[in-house]
A and B are shown apart, each in its own frame.
Chain A
Amino acid sequence: MATETHSATGNGMADVMGVDGHDMATSSTGMPQLDFSTWANQIFWLLVALIVIYLVLSRVALPRIAAVLAERQGTISNDIARAEDLKRQASEAEAAYEQALKDARAEAQAISQNTRDEIKTQVTKATQEADARIAEKTAEAESAVAAIRASAMENVEAVAKDTAEALVAALGGSADTAVISDAVDNRMKG
């Protein structure tokens, strides 16, 4: 980097630095960092600056930011808690709705079941009544048929005895009525 055109032995470091001699007259070295005459000044002002920064930060800024962050954290957790609460309420409402729906469904089922049962009992009753009436009618009819049959049998017996008497008379015999009716009875039984 250095293109020294002439040796800078006589003029000292200020010359080597390429700085005007009087400007760097106070410096003992070529690097400004190693110019110890400015150190006291820099250190003094640095300490002032650091103390100011420390006081400002520790007294004002950091407590404030910490408070804001804590407040924000609190707000966030509050909001989350409230959201949780709302969510819980919503799920409760949903559960209640489900319950109501279930109840309603059960009730409807019960009502329809009841109705069905009622109808069934009515039907059963009606059927039984009808059966009873039918049985009654059947019995009546059967007894009527039996009566008719009995009377018909009687008629047939009488006719048969009459006929038998008439036949016996016609054949020239005289027949005892009792004998004839016994014979007819025997025959009809046979």
Chain B
Amino acid sequence: MEGQLAHIGAGIAGLGTGIAALGVGNVAASFLSGALRNPSAAAAQTATLFIGIAFAEALGIFSFLIALLLMFAV
């Protein structure tokens, strides 16, 4: 029973990765709309783009990690 609850928790935690995907998409979409308005300034901001994506992605990875922990370590 306890293990099954952990699996349910893992599933819920797995939703977090999907929500993080929204965040990553948001970052990329904002970058793209900004870049299309001002393409000359876009090239200088790709590093910032990747940093932003990495921060958003990291939180999704956290929830993925929690899912894994619930699956295997609890």
Chains A and B share a contact (CB less than 8 Å):
yes
**B73 sits at the interface (CB 8 A):** yes
For the complex, is A2 an interface residue (Cβ under 8 Å from B)?
yes
Interface status of B3 (Cβ within 8 A of chain A): yes
Q: Which residues of chain A are near B53, meaning CB under 8 Å?
A: none
Number of A-B contacts (CB under 8 A): 24
- Is there contact, CB below 8 Å, between B3 and A31? no
> What CA separation (Å) do A34 and B70 show in the bound complex?
13
Does A9 make an interface contact (CB < 8 A)?
yes
Complex contact B73–A4 (CB within 8 A): no
Tell whether, in the assembled complex, residue B73 and residue A31 are in contact, meaning their CB atoms are under 8 Å apart. Answer: yes
Question: Dominant SS at the B interface?
Answer: helix
Q: Are A8 and B69 in contact (CB under 8 A)?
A: no
Having A17-B72, A34-B69, A34-B73, one finds 10 other A-B pairs with CB under 8 Å, namely A1-B71, A2-B7, A2-B71, A8-B3, A9-B2, A13-B72, A13-B73, A29-B73, A30-B73, A31-B68
Residues of A bordering B, CB below 8 Å? 1-2, 4, 7-9, 13, 16-17, 29-31, 34
Interface CB pairs A-B, < 8 A, 23: A1-B71, A2-B7, A4-B3, A7-B3, A8-B3, A9-B2, A9-B3, A13-B72, A13-B73, A16-B3, A16-B72, A17-B72, A29-B72, A29-B73, A30-B71, A30-B72, A30-B73, A31-B68, A31-B69, A31-B72, A31-B73, A34-B69, A34-B73
